[in-house]
A and B are shown apart, each in its own frame.
Chain A
Amino acid sequence: MKKKKRAVPWLYSAPALILIGIVVVFPIIYTAYISFTNMNLYHWNDFHFIGLENYKRALLKADSGFLSAIGVTIIWTVVNMVVQLVLAYFIALGLNAKGLKLKRVYKTLLMFPWAMPAYVSILLWKVCMYNTEFGLLNQLVTALGGSKMNYLAENVPAFFACTILNLWMALPFMIMMIDGALQSVDGSYYESATLDGAGVWQKTWYITLPCIRPIIAPSAIMTTFTTFKQFDIVYLLTKQKGSLSGASIQTIITYAHQNAFVSNNYGLSSAVSILIFVIIIVFSVFTNRGLKEE
């Protein structure tokens, strides 16, 4: 009887765990295995072990491009998160202003970019906004007397183009989270602070921010991870198969994808994938600990 009882939870979870084991865990192990071989287009079947060569190539040789991809990814994450948090904070603050009757309408309208399928949004921006000939941006520029430019042809403008698109897609979620957090702050704090003669800045610094920090921390961390792992925007805007736009910005994930599916360096790509996985694990263990302590 006792023995039967012990098997029950395993029976219930076996189908899910087996499926996850086959299509999620095993491919990761297989990726780790490939990362120690010289598998590429010419060695599709007759590959052999080369030890840590792929890892050395990724980490020690500057021309492999992985180190600069890490740099770009860090800059990308920091820029996006800082701008996103600041903008979302002020927009949410505006939404919570007293007497704003149309708040619900604005909130619903602002939610649209979040609700759209991500790939549709990115392709729409590529075709309707950034396109050199017909894009809305260039129509605006020519109407104002400027000359057309290709926003995705060079690295710096393309980086900004990707950042703006990412902000457009990610801000709604952040605004809603901060808006919810702001509503949970007890109004009496502000009243007594006002009586004590605190100014706007003091109230923000000593009441609002400490109160909303624990509430928005989980979503801020989650967004940091998604920003760090962002692939779709850079890939669909600049690196689509057959229509490279000219810019060569690589984040670590597009770098891994490029090496696997374009330049066919499967070994190197797998080594990079494992490195990224390790980075993500370290980050999440670190942030989980930080959140628990708070």
Chain B
Amino acid sequence: MTRRKTKNLLRLTFLNIFFIAICFLALVPILYAFTLSLSDGSSAFGSGLFLNPKHVTLENYRRILTEEPFLLWLKNSVILSVGTMVVAMGFATTASYAFSRFRFKGRMKILFLLILLNAFPQILSMFAIFRLFKTFGLLDSRLGLILVYAGSMCIFSIWNLKGYFDTIPVEIEEASKIDGATDLQMLVKIVLPLARPAIIVTAVMVLIYVWNEYLFATTFMLSADKYTLAGGLYQLQANDYSRSWSLFTAAAVLVSVPILIVFFCIQKYMVSGLTAGGVKG
């Protein structure tokens, strides 16, 4: 009996060491970046992972906030993400409701087409969009970028929300119909409140997507005053000075913290949301 106990204890110790090592590997780049962001110029890049407490400073954060246009980038990112969210959710909610509730001609075909379009990597049509936008003067405009984001996010949101609407029993709506509610009243007063959790989660995912998008943001926004956080960070690390790299790590921390907080708040929905749309044909 005692032998079995020691064996079990050994096994658990080994497992714990294994997982501490794995977690360490997973966190090393983040921890290192965090240490760099807190170190002053003299000790940056050289002291390794361990912070010399004498050199801990918030100087990098002060400089990124005051000397670099970080707040401007933040403003641009917020405008783009909120704009995209409003457009995509506004359009997708009614559309997904229609696809969930009504059986009309062409419904399955459109849903299937949306899956295919979702599989299409938007980078591949980026040049076509670029050329079109250049022709119509939409380059370097926030509206243009919001439209591009909203289009692809509409597809994602329609599938995501449709899955949720499907789970709301129709009987509730029929009951409200009998009580004399108009279509619009029913949608606003009955259906939307019931679907609120799904709508919030989908909206947050749209926000995260735009916040994390860099390729279109750096390709389509040409003037420096329109840069998003992604564009700004990209510029910071592209400068080949180690001084701007510690600035870059401070900016990276500032950009990631809100996303990390939001992510851990909605993480249990992330898995189902990500897999719900893609494969159910």
Contacts and interface: CB of A to CB of B under 8 A. Distances in A.
Interface stretch (A8-16, A60-68, A153-161, A196-204): A8-16
B249 A242 contact: no
B260 A124 contact: no
A128 B25 CA distance: 14
A112 B23 CA distance: 9
A221 B104 CA distance: 31
A134 interface: yes
Contacts, number: 247
Contacts of A134: 45-46, 242, 245
Contacts of B260: 112, 115-116
Interface residues of A, number: 90
B252 interface: yes
Contacts of A124: 29-30, 33, 249, 252
Contacts of A225: 119
Interface string B256-271: 1001100110010001
A73 to B, nearest CB: 12
A173 B12 CA distance: 24
Interface string A76-115: 0000000000000001001101011010001011111111
A242 to B, nearest CB: 7
Given A31-B128, A112-B30, A115-B260, A280 B120 contact: yes
Q: What secondary structure prevails in chain B residues at the interface with A?
A: helix
A19 B237 contact: no
- Report, nearest first, the 3 A-B pairs whose CB atoms are least far apart: A23-B151, A134-B45, A12-B98
Interface of B: 8, 11-12, 15-16, 18-19, 22-23, 25-30, 32-33, 36, 45-46, 48-49, 87, 90-92, 94-95, 97-99, 101-102, 104, 107, 110, 114-117, 119-129, 131-132, 147-148, 150-152, 154-155, 158, 183, 211-212, 214-215, 219, 230, 233-234, 237-238, 240, 242, 245, 248-249, 252, 255-256, 259-260, 263-264, 267, 271, 274-275, 278-279, 281
